Structure 1
Amino acid sequence: MTAQLVTIAILLVVVAWLAACAEAGLARTTRITAEEAVRAGRRGSAKLLAVASDPVRYLNVALLVRVACEMAAGVVVTYVCLERFSATWEALTVAIGVMVLVSYVAVGVSPRTIGRQHPEGTATAAAYVLLPLARVMGPIPRLLILLGNALTPGRGFRYGPFASEQELRAMVDLAQKESLIEDEERRMVHSVFELGDTLVREVMVPRTDVVTIERYKTIRQALTLALRSGFSRIPVTGENEDDVVGMVYLKDLARKTHINRDSETEPVSTAMRPASFVPDTKNAGDMLREMQQQRNHVAVVIDEYGGTAGIVTIEDILEEIVGEITDEYDRELPPVERLGDDRYRVTARLDIGDLGDLYGLELDDEDVETVGGLLAKSLGRVPIAGATGEVDVSHDGADPELRALRLTAESPAGRRNKIVTVLVEPVRVAVAEDE
């Protein structure tokens, strides 16, 4: 009888091992990977595509199988130990030790390593079992998730917490640490997630930086303003800046004057297009999708009082993902400008590691990655022009006289009035003593 129970426990652990493999493989397999396998005509690719099309459902099935088998194996092992040992505490101690070792090594480490090393093959093999198993189980995994949500304070996850954004973020960070992706790619993936929590007012060009033209101005004046400012889309206002009545496009102005030279004296209102208005609390991700669907590149942002808060463009939203986009009208600054006496003017987006290289330091900060972020952290607020902060580097370099780096925010620039450059000066011990 004992031998049979041990065999059953081993079989349960093997099934749990296979379920853990399936979890790890499915977590790293995307629909795009499955579609490529189908195009390549690989064996089992159709089943893999079916699983990859609804990953949450099959991940929940695999999780349920793994947990059930682990628990059942734990019960069987405990029963065997109670039969073998006279003292209850001895039996429980041995059972706990055996199951902790088995669960950690045989179910926790080994299968997940295999699943992550061979995700496509593991997920394909798992698909053969998970597809019929999901049909047999029916709504059981979903009902258990609903039960768990009912016992959880607050709002639960509709499809369970087993495939979350946090897990994907952690996976991206791990991929970057293992040099599977570049650091810039990691930042871009994180930016995509953050875009879902970003409001339009956080990415818009504020009204104080918006170039507008009154509706009674002539087309020639509007054309001159567009050429001088470098903007191809300009809001047209009525009585004041809060009264935006339309949007004039440079290409419309050029077309109109090219067809009829005399149209230069006509009011700009004859060439403007209807303006699109959005609240400043609108989600930036939703705004991007609407702009794509409506083929609209610019919208006027309205605040809670009905006034004009600014304008938002597709470029503003995309820059939240890929970083600053410069064109032929933008003046691109060098990342580092030497000023003499160990003073430098650097861009606010310069990596703090590159800043450290200028002074022979090993600068590293878990919270920030750029010089602008380092200055904001030292100040405890968003820096404005003229704001100065000091970063202690007395323990980071080989120069014993270098005590700190003084960072000074210089004049803002650009469409969003951001701090573009930072002045960096060394603060040495000798200078501090003289003061």
Structure 2
Amino acid sequence: MGDDHSHSSKGSAKSWLERIAAIFTAEPQDLSDLVEIIQEAGTRQLIDTDTQRMLEGVLDVSKMRARDIMVPRSQMATLNINHSLQELMPVLLENNHSRYPVVNEDKDHIEGILLVKDLLAHALKGETDLDLRPFLRPAVIIPESKRVDALLKEFRQKRYHMAVVVDEYGGVSGLVTIEDILEQIVGEIEDEHDDEEDLDIKQMASHVFQVSALTPVDEFNESFGTEFDEEEASTIGGIVLHAFGHMPEKGETIELQHLTFKVSKANNRRLVQLQVIKAKTPAEPPTE
């Protein structure tokens, strides 16, 4: 019986070694084989964790279509071509993007792409009644089925950064930027404004707070006196997302533990910023 066990161990060890040898000597037959090689290289510390994740991200991108990573139509920040610069300033300040699709009437009628930097000199001169039309650049239109790796190649070769995604009927269904693709490879790219927003729980009014979705649950519980379960999710964004049961759009609200959570910033992959509203206590009668 001991001999059988020894034979079995040797056999399994041999098959395991053969498998490892095959991984590192044979050519990969498909993407799953290549992923296995990358994971094994990470396990053997031939590459570091970040490199492994990026390589896996590159392989993921090779399987994706524009519809998989686009910012959906409902979350697109657009500018109205008939508005003056003065009328558009609130949109520019709220979203803080470097470029916007410019629409006429609705999001299915995109006139072009506006780069905010093109307006800067005029804005500094106080020319707030500017007509946007002379500043528009052509909008690149792509189908939902466009391969993401091919799109990245076009972005680099043709030096544009944004593409409008349309469905089979020609209606606008979303947009993709070069940053959206790079985030699939290197992870979320935050700018200095995101850092400022994400650092703190900020009180905006007596009962209204701005909260980063990445705020740890224990920190949130301590600040708001709530009892959200840290086992359910590590961040308040995870708690809220789980409660919604779907990826909510900007402006959607949900009530949890006497608090109203409103999505103030999100992309098609995660919640970014939440507005938290405390229930107001009944007003005290005025003193005479």
CA contact (8 A) 2:247 2:268 kept: no
What residue in structure 1 maps to residue 189 of structure 2? 325
2:70 pairs with one of 191, 194, 204: 204
Q: 2:268 aligns with which of 416, 423, 428?
A: 416
Q: 1:271: how far off? A: 1.8
Pick the aligned partner of 2:163 from 299, 303, 324.
Answer: 299
Query: What is the aligned partner in structure 1 of residue 204 from structure 2?
Result: none
**TM-score for the superposition, normalised by structure 1:** 0.45
Cα offset, 1:284, TM superposition? 1.1
CA contact (8 A) 1:222 1:268 kept: no
Segment of structure 1 superposing worse, 224-233 or 333-342 = 333-342
Bigger-Rg structure (1/2): 1
Query: Residues 387 and 295 of structure 1: is their aligned pair in 2 closer, same or farther, counting only changes over 3 Å?
Result: farther
Aligned partner of 2:120 among 248, 254, 268: 254
Aligned position for 1:56: none
Counterpart check, 1:230 vs 2:96 = yes
Q: Give aligned pairs, total.
A: 231
Q: Name the counterpart of 1:243.
A: 109
Q: Is the 8 A contact 2:28 2:34 kept in 1?
A: no
Q: What is the Cα deviation at residue 200 of structure 1? A: 0.8
Q: Could you say which residue in structure 2 is the equivalent of 1:284?
A: 148
Q: Aligned in 2, Cα 1:162/1:169: closer, same or farther, shift over 3 Å?
A: closer
Distance in 2 of aligned mates of 1:263 and 1:282: 40
Corresponding residue SS for 1:304: coil
Q: How do 1:91-102 residues align onto structure 2 when only pairs under 5 Å count?
A: none
Q: 1:185 to 1:244 in 2, by over 3 A?
A: same
Aligned partner of 2:38: which letter?
A: V
Identify, as 1 or 2, the structure richer in helix: 1
Which 5+ residue runs of structure 1 have no aligned equivalent? 1-100, 120-159, 359-370, 389-409, 423-435
Change (3 A) 1:176 1:276: same
- SS of alignment partner, residue 211 of structure 1: coil
Instruction: State the distance in 1 between where 2:73 and 2:215 align.
Output: 29
Higher relative contact order (CA 8 A, sep 6+): 2
Q: What letter is aligned with 1:233?
A: R
In 2, the alpha carbon distance for the partners of 1:244 and 1:112 equals 55
What is the letter of the counterpart of residue 415 of structure 1? N
Structure 2 spans left out of the alignment, 5+ residues: 1-10, 199-211, 275-288
How does the TM-score come out when normalised to structure 2?
0.64
2: distance between equivalents of 1:213 and 1:383?
Answer: 25
Change (3 A) 1:345 1:247: farther
Q: Secondary structure of the equivalent of 2:160?
A: coil
Deviations 1:347-401 (A, max 9, x none): x9xxx8xx5xx9xxxxxxxxxxxx96xx87xx9x75657699xxxxxxxxxxxxx
